[in-house]
Amino acid sequence: MAVFKVFYQENLTDRIIREDTFTKYFEAESETEVRRILNDSGYNIEFIEELSDAHLNYEKENNSQFKVENL
């Protein structure tokens, strides 16, 4: 399992504007699995990034809102 950081807009009709982008973290087997599960979420997915161990540790230490959701 890996942790993926998902950058998204809350509504499918929203234009992608960096300042309005939200992030969530998901544990999954692959990016494809994340996309499949979030397909019906209503999110306008901008980008999905698999986090390296170093990046994951950085997020844990520097992001007070950090929480990994299981799919």
Residue 61: pLDDT over 90: yes
Residue 13: pLDDT over 90: no
Domains of the chain, start order: 2-69 (3.10.20.730)
- Region 15-22 average pLDDT: 84
In single-letter form, the type of residue at position 62 comes to N
Residue 71: pLDDT over 80: no
Mean pLDDT of the chain: 92
Query: Within 10 Å of residue 34's Cβ, how many Cβ atoms?
Result: 22
- Region 21-49 average pLDDT: 94
List residues bridging with 25 in a β-sheet.
5, 68
- With a CB cutoff of 8 Å and minimum separation 6, the contacts of 24 are 5, 6, 8, 69
- Alpha carbons 5 and 27: distance in angstroms, whole number: 9
List residues bridging with 70 in a β-sheet.
27
Residue 56: pLDDT over 90: yes
